Amino acid sequence: MHTDLVAALDIGGTKIAGALVDGHGSILVRAQRATPAQKDGDTVMRAVEEVLGELIASPLWGRVTALGIGSAGPVDASTGTVSPVNVPGWRGYPLVERARAVVGGLPVRLIGDGVAIAAAEHWQGAARGHDNALCMVVSTGVGGGLILGGRLHPGPTGNAGHIGHISVDLDGDPCPCGSRGCVERIASGPSIARRALADGWRPGPDGDTSAAAVAAAARAGDPAALASFERAARALAAGIAATAALVEIDIAVIGGGVGKAGDILLAPLRKALADYATLSFARHLTVVPARTGTDAGLVGAAAAVLTARMDATAGV
Amino acid sequence: MHTDLVAALDIGGTKIAGALVDGHGSILVRAQRATPAQKDGDTVMRAVEEVLGELIASPLWGRVTALGIGSAGPVDASTGTVSPVNVPGWRGYPLVERARAVVGGLPVRLIGDGVAIAAAEHWQGAARGHDNALCMVVSTGVGGGLILGGRLHPGPTGNAGHIGHISVDLDGDPCPCGSRGCVERIASGPSIARRALADGWRPGPDGDTSAAAVAAAARAGDPAALASFERAARALAAGIAATAALVEIDIAVIGGGVGKAGDILLAPLRKALADYATLSFARHLTVVPARTGTDAGLVGAAAAVLTARMDATAGV
């Protein structure tokens, strides 16, 4: 029996990945190009077209019913345009219109990359079975997405769940976004490394100053490294607690490179969450590591179109 | 033609108000009792029963199809219980079960009072026509509720929109809720007055140290009074910006006694919002005063059952 497939694109500052995905979340066909991030907008689009071209060339293409796109943000689902911070050639770029022309008029849905990760974790990962969840990526930046009432909550423009840029320290350090004391400014990998260095941590002979190196030092007991992870944990906890107070969530899922630091991050995070998530309806909140891997962006983009169709069907 | 009515209860620490409300939001019958807030739980419930008894005695009662309850929080809509901070006799009190017994088994819906205000502002007030809105009450405390995707978002327990207890200053002053640097701890009326006094503001001969008196002093140019409102405005702006980043809203509605301070609060709030709401999808966010008045709690409790029925109908 031939069941429907969807096409998925995961567009980031480094690579453009594409896939055909079935209703179980299995990836049947893959394509990928490096993102020509410093080139003009149409050159970037040609890389997208090449990825889509490989998918279209598959004998399975005839079963594809829709295209889901998860893109580095900000995106604007209401206009079908994208303006990824790391792709300067795309500013208000009409990605949805261009992609739709390539795929012969199939329905296309655009969401932010954090929203896509949330869709993947809800469908296949640690948020499965949870109707109200925050899924985060803690890495070079801090992103996220929300599941509310059992459904993906992309918001009108596809950017909801932007926990990296909520201020948890209104007098804090300026953030490149223009605000102050943002979660990302305190808890991203580069922020963790910068603070550890400023407080006296020194890298080993390999000169590695990544957050992973700080995590290794913290595991070995380095006080500045430990303090920097604790500070990041407090910022994440305040952000997660704010989310719980605002929309009621019962689980927060942490992925991304810094999320992989494990208990060096999660232990102080759970402790700090007890300090900040004090309201009766927020106290049961749990924090767990993400379960989806490097394909989360693709799987999530597929989930966004598969669940949109399920929602539409349920609404008839 | 006889159209359906709903019954509404607005339960606070000072009074218990009840009404019969029609499909246009008009209040046709009213009843009210003082809240015997320091008495045992069953005594408080008797006051609720007296209010409901007056409504039931109305010749219009036969047209009532449901009861909506907005209560001081925390509430738990999932269990039908309430634990209002200012009513110590009610801890996990089975309000929905008790009320349902009084109204002869009609459907009963429970929401928090902030959620009720949001329902009222969306139905009849400043958030009308806005599909994504945060409605706040800035008063002795700071509460709120959310409209998302055109619908009330009470969350699973009826407490969503608790903007007063998100931390915008993770190292800030301890809040009675157990957390630190909460919006309420900085922007509530008593917080505004306390900070103005600490910074050198002195009340007039009447000894009035309310936030309204601080607002009057600010209008007359008192620097400590102005600075205290500016600080409150920054905390509110950081909280509103966080909400916009997390769920995407296009309007924030400010009600309550402090909200009535007008431009003394709103002018610095709009200025601070430009500092904190920097993401592309949050920059168009507007802040406006609430339009519903003292009946907002009743009207909102009615709206919550009226819209629940509309949603259910739409879902068939």
AA letter at B203:
P
Tell me the per-residue pLDDT of A97-155, one tens digit each, with 9 for 90 and over: 999 999 998 999 999 999 999 999 999 999 999 999 999 999 999 999 999 999 999 99
CA distances from B122 to A239, A246, B119 (A): 27, 17, 5
Q: Is residue B121 part of a domain?
A: no
Using the Cβ of B156 and the Cβ atoms of chain A, whether some distance falls under 8 Å is answered with yes
Q: Is residue A312 part of a domain?
A: no
Using the Cβ of B153 and the Cβ atoms of chain A, whether some distance falls under 8 Å is answered with yes
Q: Which of A156, A168, A171 sits opposite B132 (nearest CB)?
A: A156
**Total tally of structural domains belonging to chain B:** 2
Same domain, B241 and B276: yes
Half-sphere exposure of A117 (CA within 13 A, CB side): 31
- Chain B CB contacts of A177 below 8 Å: 278-279
Q: Is residue A308 part of a domain?
A: no
Q: Which of B74, B161, B234 sits opposite A280 (nearest CB)?
A: B74
Question: Given this model, what pLDDT does residue B315 score?
Answer: 38
CA–CA separation, A147 vs A135, rounded Å?
8
How, if at all, do strands B151-152 and A151-152 pair?
A: unpaired
Question: Given this model, what pLDDT does residue B314 score?
Answer: 45
In 3-state terms, what secondary structure has residue A80? coil
Rg (CA), chain A: 20
Token digits of residue A166: 């909520």
Tell me the per-residue pLDDT of B39-62, one tens digit each, with 9 for 90 and over: 999 999 999 999 999 999 999 999
Token digits of residue B51: 């209010």
Same domain, B176 and B67: no
Token digits of residue B122: 């969306």
Same domain, A131 and A275: yes
- Chain B CB contacts of A168 below 8 Å: 167-170
Domain boundary among the residues A55, A89, A112 is at A112
Using the Cβ of B279 and the Cβ atoms of chain A, whether some distance falls under 8 Å is answered with yes
Q: Is residue A306 part of a domain?
A: no
Beta bridge partners of B27: B21
Q: Which residues of A29-67 are buried (b: 16+ CB within 10 A; e: fewer)?
A: bebebebebeeebeebbebbbebbeebbebeebeebebb
- State phi, psi for B35 to the nearest 5 degrees: -80, 120
Question: Given this model, what pLDDT does residue B85 score?
Answer: 87
Contact B278 A162 (CB under 8 A): no
Tell me the per-residue pLDDT of B191-250, one tens digit each, with 9 for 90 and over: 999 999 999 999 999 999 999 999 999 999 999 999 999 999 999 999 999 999 999 999
- Chain A CB contacts of B169 below 8 Å: 168-171
**Residue A99 gets which letter from DSSP?**
H
Domain boundary among the residues A73, A88, A112 is at A112
How, if at all, do strands A108-112 and B251-255 pair?
A: unpaired
Bond into A88 cis (ω within 30):
no
Same domain, B175 and B273: yes
Question: Given this model, what pLDDT does residue A316 score?
Answer: 31
The residue ranges of DSSP E strands in chain A, in sequence order, are 5-11, 15-22, 27-34, 64-71, 75-76, 81-82, 108-112, 133-138, 142-148, 151-152, 251-255, 286-289
- Chain A CB contacts of B149 below 8 Å: 153
**Residue B307 scores a pLDDT above 90:** no
AA letter at B49:
E
Same domain, A95 and A176: no
Question: Given this model, what pLDDT does residue A85 score?
Answer: 87
Q: Is residue A314 part of a domain?
A: no
Contact B248 A171 (CB under 8 A): no
Range of the domain at A159: 126-289
Same domain, B283 and B184: yes
Averaged pLDDT, B14-19: 97
* A 116-145 residues inside an 8 A Cβ radius of B: 131-132
Q: Is residue A164 part of a domain?
A: yes
Helical spans, DSSP H, in A77-177: 95-102, 113-124
pLDDT-derived band at B304 (thresholds 50, 70, 90) equals very high
CA–CA separation, A292 vs B40, rounded Å?
51
In 3-state terms, what secondary structure has residue B154? coil
Same domain, B298 and B190: no
Question: Given this model, what pLDDT does residue A3 score?
Answer: 77
Helical spans, DSSP H, in B129-282: 183-187, 189-198, 211-219, 223-247, 256-259, 263-276
Same domain, A106 and A155: no
Same domain, B211 and B261: yes
Same domain, A98 and A155: no
Query: Which residues in chain A show pLDDT less than 50?
Result: 1, 313-316
CATH number, domain of B78, equals: 3.30.420.40
Q: Is residue B119 part of a domain?
A: no
- State phi, psi for A133 to the nearest 5 degrees: -145, 150
Residue A273 and residue B68 in contact, taking contact as beta carbons nearer than 8 Å: no
CA–CA separation, A192 vs A217, rounded Å?
12
Q: Which of B156, B159, B241 sits opposite A167 (nearest CB)?
A: B241
Same domain, A54 and A191: no
Same domain, B174 and B284: yes
Give the residue from B258, B247, B250 showing the smallest Cα distance to B136. B258
Q: Is residue A179 part of a domain?
A: yes
* B 24-53 residues inside an 8 A Cβ radius of A: none
Residue bearing tokens 């200012």: B86
Averaged pLDDT, B306-315: 60
